[in-house]
Amino acid sequence: MRKFLLLSLCTIATLTVFAQPQYFKGLGTSNSTFLLGNTSYASRSQMIFLPSDLGNPPAGTIQRIYFRYGSTGQATGNTLTDFEVRLLQTTAIAFPNTDNFFTGLTTVLTSPSYVIAPGTTGDWFAIELTNPFAYDPSQNLVVHTQMSASANQVFGTYGTNNTGQKLVSPNLTDTVGSLTSSTWQDFGFDFLLNGLDPSAAKLPAVSLYPNPTSNLLTVTIDGPSVSGNLVVRDMQGREMLRRRIEESGKTVINTGDWSTGSYWLIVETPEGHAYRQFLRQ
């Protein structure tokens, strides 16, 4: 069973790995380092996704986004310096003037040092957003990533052929980019459950193991003693379990009688709520 690394919202962030996003575009096997790897060509990237590209998601709040490990550099992972993710919705189906970057985007994540854990070719990895983004299903989605440095220049991500949906530049300040990158990366996202508070950045690190699970799931809360509740909900928001956080910081949950699928674990404390997703298989 593979161990999954979970996001700790601190100065150094780590990408979270899950089974599969709720809504996604894919799946291709064209590998490219021109997104989260090679800064000589792609310190800055933008991609456009129509609702139909993503399976026609409903309205919701995007909490995390996903890309897929490619066939180069994936066993090492990567560390991105001054990493940013920005999102925009627009009725445009192409870049302004063919090759100009969109402006006016909303910053949903900034990190001085962002660590992508090593992974397996073809697997999804997730980026937890610090500022959840309201998604409008009547508009197209622009995804912007940028970094000032990349420790692993050959870190690749999978996708399909780029036919005008992706723009790259080696310069963070360029207003005009290049459409010559051959790969339009596979991309996906998860919605925040309706009624859940999106502020989850002020709590100790929460880890789940094993994830996916077929029976027992161990929840570990690192750091000082935390008081509050552990709550599990299915993807429709139904409450499956509620119990007090153990003083030891470690709680074992029996999922053996639950249906297969994705679930949310919510850590409720006086300081706020933290959210983690796990898969019952």
Query: pLDDT tens across 120-171, in order?
Result: 899 888 888 888 999 999 999 999 999 999 999 999 999 999 999 999 999 9
Give the domain ranges of the chain: 12-192, 206-280
How many Cα atoms are found within 13 Å in the side-chain-facing hemisphere of 199? 5
Query: 3-26: string of b/e by CB count within 10 Å (b at 16+)?
Result: ebbbbbeeeebbbbbbebbbbbbb
How many residues does the structure list for the chain?
281
b/e for 118-140, b at 16 or more Cβ within 10 A?
ebeeebbbbbbbbbbbebeeeeb
Helix (H, G, I), strand (E, B) or coil at 82: strand
* Calpha distance 204→223 (Å, rounded): 6
CATH of domain 206-280: 2.60.40.3080
Q: Say what the alpha-carbon torsion angle 194, 142, 15, 225 is, to the nearest 10 degrees.
A: -30
Q: What is the pLDDT of residue 2?
A: 32
Pick 41 or 14 by higher pLDDT.
Answer: 41
pLDDT digits 0-9 by tens, 207-254:
888 888 899 999 988 766 678 889 998 766 678 999 998 888 889 999
Percent share of the chain, pLDDT over 90: 57
Q: What is the pLDDT of residue 17?
A: 42
Average pLDDT of the segment spanning 36-50: 98
